[in-house]
Structures are given as structure tokens and as C-alpha cells.
Amino acid sequence: MHYYNNTHLAYNGDLSEQKEPLDGIWGIIGKSGNELTPIIYSSITLFGSNGYVVENNNKFGLLDSKAKEITPIIYSEIKELDQGYSKVLQKNRWGIIDSLGNEIIACENLFVSSLNDTIFYVYSKDKLYAANLKGEYVQELFFGKTETIDKRLMRIFVSEVYYDYYNSFEEDYGTTLYGIADTSENEIIQCIYDEIYVFENSFAVKTNDKWFYLDKNGKRINQVSYDDITKLNDRMAIYTIIEPVDGDNELHYGYINAYGKRLTKYVFKYAEDFIDGKAKVSIDGEEYFFIDEKGKTIK
């Protein structure tokens, strides 16, 4: 069986007579040279043990071992799971299809992954579930991983991992989202943020490449956002504002307390952590001086 484009004949199996391909598109031919698919695809790659992923207009679909289309070409991404199942991405939401192309879990989830040979791990509508091979939710789970912060709180994770009930998991290096729960597993902050820092009775969270502050109940403190937050301690952080200057981006730093109140303006090109109540800073990157925790210059 062969698939080809305008410059190469790629194959899987014995060579057959090469057929003149058309410009910039791919198709599949059999050993005798007969066309098994129309020559319409912008790319074709092997998938699994005997299938194919085909692409058109930056969308993907699946062909079976006989080059028959088993899914429409509608997915932004297709990844292989265990037991002949695949996870598919459509409109930024994941679902699961079986080996025949049937969608057993609709594309409406932030994550889907293998839990074991018979169970899937699904994060949908702010809940984490175990789903069976029929796509039925059979158990609501807690979170794939937790990290104890103190006696009261845990940072919670949901991510694309291979996870089993014995807490043995293999990272899939996919997206990870974070939230906060108390030690009784009650969710305080939804598990929807790209990163989260815990301060004294408040939190700094990151989403869509911006940081902002939440109070102890998970409510946003104000509408101010920052390009970066660097936690110094439970009471203080350095915030970053990026500004375009002459076609380049310049980073400016300032200090902020645990409640999102700015202690200084973002006038520094260099800013360090506080040691013994003072921090080394520079406005122009050349002359350096020290400030106290209220932002006042130390003479």
C-alpha cells in the first residue's frame, strides 16, 4: 500500500509500479497500483498499527487499514490511546472515539486520557470522572494529583496524565490546570488556572497569560492584571508589566502585597527579593539602590 505527494512515493509494504502523482496532494494506492482513496489529502500519516490520519484544510480524520474513511475530517488533533481508542480535539474540547470512528465521549471536555485498559479519565464541566469504554461516567473522582500547602489547603491539579487508582501515573506533558481545595477535598478555587500562588489569605492566579489576585474565598479582588507575578513570601511579590518601546518589549517591575495592592509603581528595570527588610533595585539598569518593604529609598 502506498501514499504519495508531488515529489515522493512513501510506502508501507512491497513496492508496486509508481504512478505519476498530482501536485501537492496525497492519495493511497494498493500493491497493484489501484487507487484506494481519491487523491485529495494535503497529508497522510500512519496511525496506530494499520490506520491512517488524513488532513485537509488543517483538519484531520481517520482511515482504516483498507483506506476507508471512518471519521469525517473535522478534528484539530487526533492522539492514540490504549485498546484502539483515540482522543480527538474539536473546538478546543476533547472527546474519545473507538477503533470504528464512533464518538463514545463527545468533544466537550478539557481533558481526556487513559486511566487504565478499561477506564478513561475525563475532566468535564469542572468535575473529574472515570468513564467506561461505552463513554458512561461511572465514578466522580477527586483530582489527579494534589500538593499539600499547609494544614488547611491543598493545591489541586488536573492534567493529561496516565493515572491509576494506586497513584502511579505517567506524565503526558500536556496542559495542566490548577486550583485550591481544603484538606477535606472541598474545592475553594476552581481547577481552571494555568498557575496559582498561595499567599496569606489570598491567591495569585494565571490564565490567558495574565495574572490577577483572588481573595480567600476565590473571588477576584480587582480588575487589575499583570504580565507576571514572582512570589517572594506569603506577604509580597514582584509584579511585571511589559510595555512596547521602539518596537521592542521592555519589562518593568514593581512590588505588590498579598492583597493585590501595589507597594511601588512599576518603575524598576531590576528588582530583587528583600533580605533583612531591604531589596536592591534599579530604575535605569545602571545605578542601583535599596528600598524598604514600603517602597521607600534607604539612604
List pLDDT tens digits, range 170-195. 444 456 778 887 766 677 887 778 88
Q: What does DSSP assign to residue 268?
A: B
Longest dimension (CA), the chain: 87
Retrieve residue 142's grid coordinates. 477527586
Residue 6 burial (CB count, 10 A): 11
* Per-residue pLDDT at 23: 54
Q: Convert the pLDDT of each residue in 200-250 to its tens digit.
A: 889 999 998 999 999 988 899 999 999 999 999 999 999 999 998 888 889
Q: Bridge partners of 147?
A: 155
The span from the CA of 299 to the CA of 297, in Å, is: 6
Task: Look at residues 118, 108, 129 and name the one whose alpha carbon lies nearest to residue 84.
Answer: 118
* Strands 27-29, 153-163: pairing kind: unpaired
Between 199 and 116, the higher pLDDT residue: 199
Q: Are 3 and 16 in contact (CB under 8 A)?
A: no
pTM of the model: 0.52
Q: How far is residue 39 from each of residues 13, 51, 171, measured CA to CA in Å?
A: 20, 17, 38
Q: How far apart are CA 215 and CA 59, in angstroms?
A: 42
For the chain, counts of helices (H) and of strands (E):
0, 27
Residue 122's CB is within 10 A of a number of other CB atoms, namely 25
Residues whose CB is less than 8 angstroms from the CB of residue 142 and which lie 6 or more positions away in sequence, other chains included: 128, 156, 185
Q: Distance (Å, rounded) from C-alpha 160 to C-alpha 105?
A: 16
- CA–CA gap between residue 281 and residue 4 (Å, rounded): 61
pLDDT tens column, 79-129: 888 778 899 999 988 899 998 999 999 898 877 876 556 667 777 766 677
Q: Which of 113-117, 136-140, 289-293 has the lowest mean pLDDT?
A: 113-117
Q: Where in the chain are the domains? A: 1-74, 78-182, 224-299
- Can you give the pLDDT at residue 206? 94
How far apart are alpha carbons 200 and 107 in whole angstroms?
A: 39
Tell me the three cell numbers of residue 282: 534599579
Cβ burial 244-255 (10 Å sphere, 16+ → b, else e): eeeeeeeebbbb
pLDDT of 37 above 60: yes
pLDDT exceeds 50 at position 142: yes
Categorize the per-residue pLDDT at 150 as very low, low, confident or very high, splitting at 50, 70 and 90: low
| Residue 113 phi, psi (nearest 5) | -160, 175
* Amino acid of residue 23: D
Beta bridge partners of 230: 238
